[in-house]
Amino acid sequence: MQTVLITGCSSGFGLEIARHFLDQGWQVVATMRTPDTAILPPSERLRILALDVTDEASIRAAIEAAGPIDVLVNNAGIGMLYPLEATPMATARQLFETNTLGTIAMTQAVLPAFRARRAGVIVNVTSAVSLVPLPLLSVYTASKAAVNAFTESLALELEPLGIRTRLVLPGRSPSTRFGQSARQRMQAEVPEVYAPMIESVFGAARGDGPVTYGEDVVRAVWRAVNDPSAPMRIPAGADAEELAASI
């Protein structure tokens, strides 16, 4: 029986990915900052661990507690939609600490065991917004695009060792906490000149058009894990597929 460790399982895509792997008979290590908020169904094949991907000690403890794993899904991330001029550098650092360096740190932590077995799969969940330039997303996009470059370069290092790496790029999802998370980071006062753009972008996000659903991301992650012939970048969701086809 194979084991997958998934980060960011308290809600959204991580929660649905964990549920799917459980349904498929896998052993699942579901990690999150606050395990007491977990809403996963009880199972003898499920372990829920505390994990803060920005904290080295937390990563070390989680990896030790998890034991041998076959797959790492780096899903944990935070969002932000804001003009750069009004973005505090502390907030920009927070995005990179979680979205970029957290992914790198988790990947580094599992590599010794994967290398020793000459087997393992790493799936990094980024975002389809990294495929095209969009306003108000410069810092968030940069944090995700960096993971894209990291993953593609890392694949060249790890393939000779029997370790596969893949990217899953979800589009806009109305069912996750991205919008709420992004708004919580809109603390600084914004120059009035940006107001029409902010309203336009948030209006577009609330509008009609193709979106990404949890099952889209679940399918993409499942394919990345189980199909060695899957492409490096796997768009997840109708809008993500449209963006990928346009470049």
- Mean pLDDT score, 62-86: 96
CATH number for the domain harbouring residue 33: 3.40.50.720
Range of the domain at 163: 3-245
Domains identified in the chain, total number: 1
Q: Name the nearest CA neighbour of 232 among 158, 161, 155, 160.
A: 155
213 is catalytic: no
Distances (CA, A) of 111 to 47, 75, 134, 154: 21, 17, 34, 11
- Prediction pTM value: 0.93
The model's pLDDT over 23-44, given as tens digits with 9 standing for 90+, comes to 999 999 999 999 887 788 889 9
The model's pLDDT over 175-230, given as tens digits with 9 standing for 90+, comes to 655 555 555 555 667 888 888 888 787 766 665 678 999 999 999 999 999 999 99
- Beta-carbon contacts of residue 184 (< 8 Å; ≥ 6 apart): none
Which H or E run includes 56?
A: helix 56-66
Q: Name the nearest CA neighbour of 93 among 147, 134, 54.
A: 54
Provide the phi-psi class of 174: left if phi over 0, else alpha when psi is between -120 and 50, else beta.
alpha
3-state secondary structure of 120: strand
Among candidate residues 82, 140, 194, 213, the one labeled active-site is 140
